[in-house]
A and B are shown apart, each in its own frame.
Chain A
């Protein structure tokens, strides 16, 4: 039998926040103003999540010549008009205030002149709107947020995973937890905020940190929540290609923002063929497809990428504006001051996710969501710099909404739920297949058939593979591996949602490309709305019919 931690295995609080990336930290800070808040993290607080590794920046309208209307239009156009306009509106409207919050809490973003934040150009935007701290912008945010969390009495439960929501009837009333040693527990809460981030670890080549496994999507799905647009996976145009184990490591868009040019093996600046107007600073979906096409058509480099070159910039500019890029490449024997980088697309961000209202309410009572685990803010393609803004804008809203939630009294028998989870863990202990073997097959088939270019046949093949893998029981060699087994199970669930969404959406739009379909419409006048998936069914919205 798997141990249920004796004694204090059940903790109660007003708000439970799951995930300590940018969104979770922001939500916890806000929620703590209303009552006892627990910040649950599968890593050490602040060390998990993708915010800390985010490089490029934070989009905010701060200049008088810029406007939130412009930012809204850029976001909608970049998103293939699939964004929920109400969410996009909230994003662009509140992003400046949340940036000022970070400043008031001590963040040190670069300034251009005295007391004026520096802003750099980013893809798909008509204004230099991306605030930054060199190329460690997300790290600066997490530093600021964790400093503030240490200032509060937020209770940090670290290196412990949420493996399921605790359901009190149809209401989410906290979470079932599993710590590093394999001990089960429960945290009960009046309101729960899920801020577990993205899931592109489902792909063989990904920028995500080890925690980018999509647990929040899977937990929500199992609990009956509605998810939208799960097929919308952003492939970042520029990931590392060498050495093999470092494939996919993010090469920030700031490299192009600072003037980096893309060239193929023939030395051609090939973006001229794909988007002569915006060139390297086209939207990510366009640049990623352009690079992938160059490589597929045989104009790639030795290691299967294209060149990204900043050698025309001065060494000093590179050292100051791109210090992490410089340092990382030096570790791999490339000096970007004098040598071009080799890059290729890499799975980066999930635009789809839990369906939320502007107040971050999911379709489940008691459950709020913010950050990458949600869908609708970014539509079919996210603009660089909008994710960090998303974490703060909706993190704050989620913390506030959860904080204001009324107290509830539980009618669920927590011990009975724990007994069921213990049985699930026992099954893993008697499992059949090491988790890493399941993952190897999963990530390859997702890259091959649910990647940048998709077809119905390929997607069906991927679905068949996922079905086969879901028949296997991941094996925990010891109880400390139980977390890994839960994670793999979650990743299979998320992969299936991505594939099903991709099959449902019979059009090319934003990051989602179906090469087996010819269409007569543009994104703006597409007949389709969101793909919608839940335990209770799947569908794609028909704009004409729904109108």
Chain B
């Protein structure tokens, strides 16, 4: 036995005006789970502590709680000294027991019919990946869209997809899911991140339901417009200024020694809306010895279509995009757009390696920039954090750029999944939540690494939003100013000069 000290958020609606945190020290066995620590509190300190549990093997989904802010199954998660235990982000009944019944009672089931035979292997394989759900409500408790929109949430969407996939139930429920908020999901993947069974609800349920809705003609008009534009121009944004691809040559040689060579997938947002940011990124690579190859025939990655279920000509986009890098013998392709990166990594099957710019800079190492003392916080783009599991690299870089880095909770800003265009109210609500979270840190600047987040948060935040690579660019500029030297790293050759 060993003693551990930890806190529990307690609340008794009969006696407490608000939840309060209590600290407990108890003896537990080596390897004890959170649940055993809760048992120990009940037995050694306070028998009134209320929490749910039953199977104790991670299968009944009764015991989910938050530990240090993250939902876990108490019966499976190891207890540790200093942990902070709190109820899920749902209405609290008492202590760690939250309201669950109302979320479970209306989940749809297969329409019962007479036995007509067993499933085919194909149907079985399709349903299987979303069938492991233990209805623990971790996803429901963390879904940002559900919190602000009229959305029944990831659990119910998963269940609808399960029915849609089942040949034994022929009901068409696409219209119903649209009414239930199908298009309010930002595909932020928080539900997948917290799912103890690792069920990919955005990819395996939401986007697939949107495909069905699309086939039924239920696509939102704004999303339809984007698809039309991609079909007509290969791009998801219209041309309102000179694009990156119009400006740069196919190969950009670095200044000094060549330390590496990568292909650059520009992406529609950087190409057509934020070309300056992209050019600054190219300059940073130039200064750090990376040769960049930019095939001009590349097109939209297809993300805006895949997220909204309009997948008919995604195959063609993939063919062009993969082909243009393969033809040039490129083995590493970088993205600066988190959405493109996530799409290339997860929705494509590429014969080359795809890296986000943050990963690339970490891998090759960079010239150390000058640091500032401006208090900064970092907004994790969903498609970078959860789509690509890139979380530490930008933080490492940011700590080189400021002496005063402040963390904030990683939540969706509302820009993804076509919600910004299709459901602007929902996106704005989530944007305002981000504003409040940023304000709470006291940071004077919010740094991120995704064009959608950058655009969207700028509209709501009270402080400037800056791309992390732009920040690095500016730091190098300052160093040059101080030293009076300039290697010409910012002078990216023009396309015409070739």
Question: What residues of chain A lie closer than 8 Å to B118, measured between beta carbons?
Answer: 103, 109, 111, 115-117
Instruction: Let me know if A110 and B115 touch, CB within 8 A.
Output: no
Name which of A42-50, A217-225, A515-523 contacts chain B: A42-50
B59:A242 contact, CB within 8 angstroms: no
Q: CB within 8 Å of B: which of A73-100?
A: 100
List chain A residues, Cβ under 8 A from B287.
none
Is B36 on the interface with A (CB-CB < 8 A)?
yes
Contact call B56/A210, Cβ cutoff below 8 A: yes
- As a 0/1 sequence over residues 103 to 123 of chain B, the CB contacts with chain A under 8 angstroms (1 = contact) are 011111111111111111110
B379 to chain A, nearest CB (A): 31
Q: How large is the interface on A (under 10, 10 to 19, 20 to 34, 35 or more residues)?
A: 35 or more
C-beta contact mask, B12-40 vs A, less than 8 Å → 1, else 0? 00000000000000001111110010000
Task: Tell me if A150 and B61 are in contact (CB < 8 A).
Answer: no
Expressed in whole angstroms, the minimum distance between the Cβ of A106 and any Cβ of chain B is 3
Q: Tell me if A211 and B54 are in contact (CB < 8 A).
A: yes
For A116, the chain B residues whose CB sits under 8 A away are 118
Q: Is the CB of A140 within 8 A of B131?
A: yes
B132-173: which residues lie under 8 A (CB-CB) from chain A?
Answer: 132-135, 166, 168-169
Residue among A45, A148, A331 with max Cβ neighbours from chain B (10 Å): A331
Separation of A246 and B35 alpha carbons in the complex (Å):
11
On whether the beta carbons of B61 and A245 are closer than 8 Å, the reply is no
Chain B nearest CB from A290 CB (Å) reads: 25
Docked Cα-Cα span, A147 to B48, in Å, equals: 33
Q: In the bound complex, do residue A104 and residue B116 qualify as a contact, i.e. CB atoms below 8 Å apart?
A: yes
The stretch among A351-359, A476-484, A505-513, A538-546 that forms the contact with chain B is A476-484
A105 interface neighbour in B42, B104, B110, Cβ under 8 Å? B110
Q: Assess the B128–A108 pair: CB atoms within 8 A.
A: yes
B112 contacts A151, C-beta separation under 8 Å: yes
Specify which of A100, A101, A209, A478 is in contact with B48 (CB 8 Å cutoff). Answer: A478
Q: Choose among B28, B42, B54, B116 the residue with the greatest number of A CB atoms under 10 Å from its CB.
A: B54
Chain B residue with the shortest CB-CB distance to A114: B120
C-alpha gap A156/B47 in the complex (Å):
28
**How many contacts A-B (CB < 8 Å)?**
152
Cβ contacts under 8 Å, B122 to chain A? 114
Contact A44/B30 with A136-B59, A210-B54, A434-B43 known, Cβ cut-off 8 Å: no
Q: Could you say which residues of chain B place their CB within 8 Å of the CB of A140? A: 131
A143, CB-defined interface residue at 8 Å: yes
- With a cutoff of 8 Å between Cβ atoms, the chain B residues found around residue A468 in the complex are none
**Chain A residue with minimal CB distance to B61?**
A47
With A104-B168, A245-B32 as contacts: A53 and B60 at CB distance below 8 Å: yes
CB-CB contacts below 8 Å: B149-205 with A: 166, 168-169
Q: From A440, which residue of chain B is reached at the shortest CB distance?
A: B43
B112 interface neighbour in A148, A156, A246, Cβ under 8 Å: A148
- Contact yes or no, A243 B120, CB < 8 A: no
For chain A, residues 41 to 75, give those with C-beta under 8 angstroms from any C-beta of chain B: 43-45, 47-48, 50, 52-53
Judge whether B76 is part of the interface by a CB distance below 8 angstroms: yes
B124 at the interface (CB under 8 A from A): yes
Chain A residue with the shortest CB-CB distance to B130: A108
- For B28, the closest partner residue in chain A by CB is A245
B30 partner, pick from A115, A244, A327, beta carbons under 8 A? A244
Most A C-beta atoms less than 10 A away, residue of B76, B101, B116, B131: B131
| B58 sits at the interface (CB 8 A) | yes
A481 lies within 8 A of B169 (CB): no
Q: What is the minimal beta-carbon distance from B71 to any residue of chain A, in angstroms?
A: 15
- Contact of A111 with B101 at beta-carbon distance under 8 Å, contacts A104-B113, A104-B168 already known: no
Alpha-carbon gap, A14 to B204, bound state (A): 42
Q: Given A44-B104, A100-B115, A117-B118: A147 and B110 within 8 A (CB)?
A: yes
Q: Is B62 an interface residue (CB 8 A)?
A: yes
Tell me the minimal C-beta distance from A98 to chain B in angstroms: 11
Task: Say if the beta carbon of B220 comes within 8 Å of chain A.
Answer: no
Residues of B within 8 Å of A170, CB to CB, are none
What residues on B are CB-neighbors of A151 within 8 Å?
A: 109, 111-112
Distance in Å: Cβ of B410 to nearest Cβ of chain A:
24
Say yes or no for A139: interface residue by CB 8 A criterion: yes
- In-complex Cβ contact of A114 among B107, B110, B121, B128 (8 A): B121
Q: Scan A260-300; emit 1 where CB is below 8 A from any B CB, else 0.
A: 00000000000000000000000000000000000000000
CB contact under 8 A between A143 and B101, given known A47-B60, A48-B60, A250-B57: no
Cβ of A249 < 8 Å from any Cβ of B? yes
Q: Which of B31, B50, B59, B112 has a CB less than 8 Å from the CB of A104?
A: B112
Q: Is B55 an interface residue (CB 8 A)?
A: yes
With A and B bound together, what is the CA distance between A334 and B114 in angstroms? 44
A3 at the interface (CB under 8 A from B): no
A331 proximity list for chain B (CB < 8 A)? 58, 76-78
Task: Give the shortest distance, in Å, between A136 (CB) and chain B (any CB).
Answer: 7
A324 within 8 A of B: yes
B59 near A108: Cβ-Cβ < 8 Å: no
A44 touches B100 (CB 8 A): yes
Bound complex: CA of A81 vs CA of B120, how far in Å? 39
Given A148-B110, A210-B53, 7 additional A-B pairs, CB 8 A: A53-B55, A106-B168, A111-B118, A243-B30, A245-B31, A249-B57, A480-B50
The 6 closest A-B pairs by CB, nearest first: A243-B31, A147-B109, A106-B110, A477-B47, A100-B115, A104-B115
Residues in chain A within 8 A of chain B (CB atoms): 43-45, 47-48, 50, 52-53, 100-101, 103-106, 108-111, 113-117, 133, 136, 139-140, 143-144, 146-148, 150-151, 156, 158, 209-211, 242-246, 249-250, 323-324, 327-328, 331-332, 434, 436, 477-478, 480-481
Q: List 24 A-B contacts (CB under 8 A).
A: A43-B54, A43-B62, A50-B55, A52-B60, A101-B115, A103-B115, A109-B118, A111-B118, A111-B121, A113-B121, A114-B120, A146-B109, A148-B110, A150-B104, A210-B56, A242-B31, A244-B30, A245-B29, A249-B57, A324-B58, A324-B59, A332-B31, A478-B47, A480-B50
